[in-house]
Structure 1
Amino acid sequence: MNNKRLLTLAICSTLTASASFAASTELQALQTSWAKCQYNTSDKDQKEQCLNEVVQKNTEYLDAHPNDPELTVWLAINKSTLAGAKGGLGALSLVKEAKALLESVIDRAPQTLDGSAYTSLGSLYYQVPGWPLGFGNDKTAEQMLKKALEINPNGIDPNYFYADFLAQDGRKEEAKQYFNRALQAPSRPDRPLADQGRKMEIQAKLKELS
């Protein structure tokens, strides 16, 4: 292989590494911003504005890194969280957009972020109204959430959302089991606010079930 070819490969490798680092840095910024919107913003209007800004920034990042599966998952998470903040029928378009984004990741990179696309899509299926208003379906929700747990059995989020699904389905003892598993999940050093906020949600849910 000649020197020119080696130089070309070195440049390409450097550019790829730089792009991956940039996307990773942007992902962490999005995760931090989401947690601040979700757990540090109590006013409804301020939370909606905060999430709108995160969705806009996420869209910009994804435009710069087309088809990045991690940024795609987080755009879906941010859109579905914004839908929850908005509420009402006007939120349905956002959750349908989130659904399409998550399905695209499951089709091409299902292991992304420890199967987070399955967790997020499963949570949408049990929280969104069913036909004719939406696509909600408890059977599909449970399938998705169980798949997420197969990929990431000890994660705080897959255990939390499966427990929440079980609680809403009236399966209280099973729900308590998975909420407690979520509480025992390993801490995520890069996401302390999200872990703290999620654990507060879990404790509140367990109190409701006691």
Structure 2
Amino acid sequence: MMEIIEEKLAADEQNPGNYELLWRAARGYLFLGDYAGESKEKLRLYEKGKEYAELAVAANSQGYEGFFYLGVLIGSIGEERGVMNSLFMVKPMRNALERCLEIDPERPLAYNPLAQLYWKAPGRPLSIGNIKTALQLAEKLVTLSPDSPYDWYIYGCIALATKERDLAMEAFTKCLSFPEDPEDPRLDREAKESARAELDKLKK
């Protein structure tokens, strides 16, 4: 698949900034990086995807997908490097994802990684971490995406971090109640396994 996309990009001399191909290339490298084994290979693939995402946003400053994959790829690179080694990447990630909200505030995709960013990043003065903001974003996420197991799982984790035990239990239960995405079930399957484990701990 990636070979086909790159061949099309190379052949499209009259339109080198083909936005649709560029963001799809970024998405493809994100997918490959997620499934790669070694951290070094993950980073190589994520970095390649980030390059395409940067080209996508340069080609279309109103394109939701370009900014979304730019933000997610920055976050993926940061996770592989470790939080404390990647603090300089927090603001570019936030800026890309918040641009998505400006373009289309009713589209749910960007709320998940943005909520996770505010949840996982260190708080001030080191970084922008803010658990209350994370919870607000997660609430908006499940409002816009009410049947996603993965989104409910993230909401539950953030609720748990704010010591909202009942809310966390409700979110984890919701996570288990919805079917997995048939096109890419990995995240939903992993979310359900983790949600089940969290519920077991909360019920003890």
Report TM bin, short chain: 0.7 to 0.9
Residue identity over aligned pairs, in percent, reads 22
Instruction: Supply the AA of the counterpart residue of 1:160.
Output: Y
Output the TM-score relative to the length of structure 2.
0.76
2:53 and 2:96 map into 1 onto residues whose CA distance is: 15
Q: Does 1:63 align with 2:55?
A: yes
1:48 and 1:197 map into 2 onto residues whose CA distance is: 23
| Match of residue 174 from structure 1 | 167
2:188 and 2:78 map into 1 onto residues whose CA distance is: 22
Conservation of the 8 A alpha-carbon contact between 2:33 and 2:41 = no
Distance 1:123 1:19, change over 3 A: closer
1:144 and 1:173 map into 2 onto residues whose CA distance is: 18
2:132 corresponds to which of 134, 139, 160: 139
Gaps of 5+ in 1: 1-14
Instruction: Supply the AA of the counterpart residue of 1:136.
Output: G
Q: Does 1:188 align with 2:187?
A: no
Conservation of the 8 A alpha-carbon contact between 2:112 and 2:151 = yes
Q: Does 1:53 align with 2:45?
A: yes
1:82 and 1:203 map into 2 onto residues whose CA distance is: 28
Output the TM-score relative to the length of structure 1.
0.74
RMSD (Å) for aligned C-alpha atoms: 2.6
Conservation of the 8 A alpha-carbon contact between 1:32 and 1:191 = no
Structure number with higher helix proportion:
1
1:82-129 deviation line (CA, Å, top 9, x unaligned) = 3223224221112222111001111112234xx121222111112111
Distance 1:56 1:209, change over 3 A: farther
Distance 1:49 1:92, change over 3 A: farther
- Secondary structure of the 1:111 match is coil
Give the aligned length: 184
Shift of 1:19: 5.8
Distance 1:82 1:61, change over 3 A: closer
Gaps of 5+ in 2: 1-14
Shift of 1:143: 1.5
Instruction: Supply the AA of the counterpart residue of 1:154.
Output: D
- Secondary structure of the 2:93 match is helix
2:73 and 2:189 map into 1 onto residues whose CA distance is: 19
| Higher mean displacement: 80-89 or 158-167 | 80-89
State the structure with more CA Rg.
1
Shift of 1:208: 3.7
The higher relative CO (CA closer than 8 Å, separation ≥ 6) is in 1
